[in-house]
Chains A and B, each alone.
Chain A
């Protein structure tokens, strides 16, 4: 049976769910197709950082747009998503790193962005009292924070469904094809048809783009995270390092989430990852050096979520350069969670109005034209 819809979204991560929700808000009836369940991969198991801090200049406008939505996330999806705004702090461990921070903040200010603020050692220790004395300062983005990723993705999915989106989980989108002006996608024995196809398939999105002649340099990665047993409350903001791979966040229940981008070995066809404990050991060493209080904590669990990383570490976002009605929203390269709410809103504007006020030019898939792709998975 062929079911006619206004848009077909492939992928039930935060991005697909957010786009589904915003299309509904614009009066469209989309179908979202997710091979597992919403939030099964990176969107459900990431560190939950809601961070404008330390982003590539090309994605800052999208990040700022998204921040506005995070701050009223409860109104948008009827769930506060566990969002807390205690700021995010980037710690410089040496004077040289602090100098680099200064250059960065000055550059952002000249571009008109004011969300990043240089801080000295005293302000750093006021914000993060437990940090090692040797750290000379850093950068803070005070509106930043963290949320609960699985709860957030599920909330977007639920709200989209309430507003009329069709959600199909547990079976993959297959046989994606174009017939005249309509995109056709099979899900089991059903076929969906729509003039719009949104490729938000995360680690699987490169395959979809490739099928329609837009081969891009994308690889599958699985950033690892680990969580500790509860320790006495000692830190409010999310902390990231300038020089080493580490992100750090304490939850209200005292548990501490340790991440930072060390990678597991993904097995995307099995939906599995194999953890690299030697890399996690590096994270543990960094934490022990920076926060003495953490040395006696125990590691409860470690995991990794599968997602896509572009060669230049910024997403592919916007219309296809080849096909009418095809839109890409993937390759968020391990920092897409915060962008989810805003990216859905902007994607809906692109689809409904053909344009947006939010600057996204640096994210177009056209940036890879005439450049030989590296690995494609």
Chain B
């Protein structure tokens, strides 16, 4: 049973207990700052180190050494003296650094002198025909089941898409005895040439050898089809076939009961955007990334962003970004504090990123769907619906809401936002930066009306309850 925050004000509040949040917590609390770490999962680790303290998968080699490196940082955070609350949902953050958080069915407001947002990444939408059929799920969801419960597929299964996490998941499933019938690799052939100039950085990066070994491991056990240019899921009420077009232009069909889709991860921007942090379109990663200084400080004084939420960089970079943001918070609190400069370590951890970003930039046809393919799952809006709205005057995602309610459902744009921006940008001949994104608003995660009604009535009452 989690308890509500003990205090009504902290030097630092860190949101998210993945690599960045854990590292920031350990450093900030270690330096004597009153530190609160809020995380919505049952335990520390975020996605990459999910269930690090509780996974039933105990044999080290199955999840890999990168996974287990998380245990040490999680322990450092736990021993740092920070207050750590799990199953805590941060549903509001504003430019006054006031945080609305829900714990155990009750909400409280707390104030922070500094906030470090470490809410990580989410999977990029993969809007292909049939992606809403039962039996189609994201690779990330499959990995969550694998790490938390040791569950792996045992029915006819196809994994499709691209990126390092796709291969990691495939390797983990196979090591745990799971079934994969085919890997459909959608990496565009042209990307290999485009990525070449960045290859030197990558071969000297910590990811290079691991990546090659993992791909070899998967290829030894499962047939892999590369250069896939079209992909569709089909079935009557549930998935029963995956069809695709090969690099050679041949259309083929596989029968399958499970299709796992993944084409990379993008920053989870909802909390930062709702707080008013300025973001810009990242032309290489094809997503929104916050405008930050070298230490992760955002456009809002007192709010820093660390980890993949600052732009995709991977777990190692996240740790150093978390430490940089904590250092900045420590400096702000005590100007004479000695804070180590981690910029060299961060640079090394980020090495090779340009290669990965270029190589795994998803092809246009997998980002910008056409015709009857669903764009917005919440309201079942198709690509054609979006284009029809553009034709009668919807100029950007916020106007589209008025016509189609896209982005107004439970997912708050997480599953359609990037698609809508790119689709409208293409239709209107503008850049995604010009088209913009949904204006996001709290609650960033839905809260019960009764919970909001029971919010302590005044600031004084809040204090009384929090202290009581």
Contacts and interface: CB of A to CB of B under 8 A. Distances in A.
A274 interface: yes
B94 A275 contact: yes
A294 B450 CA distance: 8
B395 interface: yes
Contacts of B442: 275, 277, 301-302
Nearest to B461: A278
Interface centre among B276, B393, B405 (most CB of A within 10 A): B393
Contacts of A227: 408
Interface stretch (B7-15, B200-208, B215-223, B396-404): B396-404
A253 B409 CA distance: 11
B191 to A, nearest CB: 35
Contacts of A287: 449, 453
A22 B296 CA distance: 51
Interface centre among A44, A148, A253, A285 (most CB of B within 10 A): A285
B401 to A, nearest CB: 7
A26 to B, nearest CB: 23
Given A154-B393, A158-B392, A284 B453 contact: yes
Interface in B415-468: 439, 441-443, 446-450, 452-455, 457-459
Contact of B402 (A154, A277, A278, A297): A154
Given A294-B449, A299-B447, A300-B446, A277 B410 contact: no
Interface string A135-161: 000000000000011110010011000
A309 B58 CA distance: 64
A223 B410 CA distance: 23
A347 to B, nearest CB: 23
B449 A277 contact: no
Given A274-B95, A274-B96, A277-B100, A298 B449 contact: yes
Interface centre among A44, A285, A295, A299 (most CB of B within 10 A): A299
A228 interface: yes
B393 A158 contact: yes
B360 interface: no
Contacts, number: 100
A357 to B, nearest CB: 33
Interface string A265-285: 000001010110110111011
Given A151-B403, A300-B410, A284 B457 contact: no
A37 B453 contact: no
Contacts of B394: 154
B412 interface: yes
Interface in A1-42: 37, 39
B298 interface: no
B320 interface: no
A56 B448 CA distance: 36
B92 interface: yes
B458 A278 contact: yes
A366 B121 CA distance: 57
Given A157-B393, A295-B450, A229 B410 contact: yes
A37 B399 contact: yes
Contacts of A37: 395-396, 399
A103 interface: no
Given A274-B94, A275-B442, A302-B442, A281 B458 contact: no
Nearest to B450: A295
B94 A298 contact: no
B457 A278 contact: yes
B4 to A, nearest CB: 16
Interface centre among B94, B109, B454 (most CB of A within 10 A): B94
A296 interface: yes
Contacts of B457: 278, 281-282
Nearest to B100: A277
Contact of B453 (A253, A288, A300): A288
Interface residues of B, number: 37
Contacts of A86: none
Contacts of B109: 277-278
Contacts of B276: 270, 272
A368 interface: no
A245 to B, nearest CB: 15
A299 B452 CA distance: 8
A223 to B, nearest CB: 14
A147 to B, nearest CB: 11
Contact of A296 (B96, B403, B448): B448
Interface centre among B392, B399, B402, B409 (most CB of A within 10 A): B402
B453 A281 contact: yes
Contacts of A300: 408-410, 412, 443, 446
B402 A288 contact: no
A227 B441 CA distance: 11
Interface centre among A149, A285, A297, A301 (most CB of B within 10 A): A301
Contacts of A229: 410, 446
B447 A298 contact: yes
Contacts of A282: 457
Interface string B295-323: 00000000000000000000000000000
A302 B443 contact: yes
Contact of B452 (A39, A149, A157, A284): A284
Nearest to A287: B449
Interface string A215-235: 000000000000111000000
A299 B453 CA distance: 11
A292 B453 CA distance: 12
A97 to B, nearest CB: 22
Contacts of B446: 229, 298-300
A151 B402 contact: yes
Contacts of A151: 402-403
Contacts of A284: 449-450, 452-453, 455
Given A150-B399, A154-B399, A302-B443, A278 B455 contact: yes
Contacts of A299: 443, 446-449, 452
A277 B455 contact: yes
A281 B455 contact: yes
A352 to B, nearest CB: 27
Contacts of A228: 449
A299 B459 CA distance: 22
Given A151-B402, A301-B441, A302-B443, 16 more contacts: A39-B399, A148-B402, A150-B402, A154-B402, A158-B392, A253-B405, A272-B95, A278-B109, A278-B455, A284-B455, A285-B453, A295-B449, A295-B453, A296-B449, A298-B449, A300-B412
22 contacts: A37-B395, A158-B392, A227-B408, A228-B449, A253-B405, A275-B92, A275-B442, A277-B92, A278-B458, A280-B452, A281-B452, A282-B457, A284-B453, A285-B454, A288-B449, A295-B450, A295-B453, A296-B450, A297-B448, A299-B448, A299-B452, A301-B443
Q: Please list the 4 inter-chain residue pairs (A to B) with the smallest Cβ-Cβ separation, ordered nearest first.
A: A150-B402, A281-B455, A284-B453, A284-B452
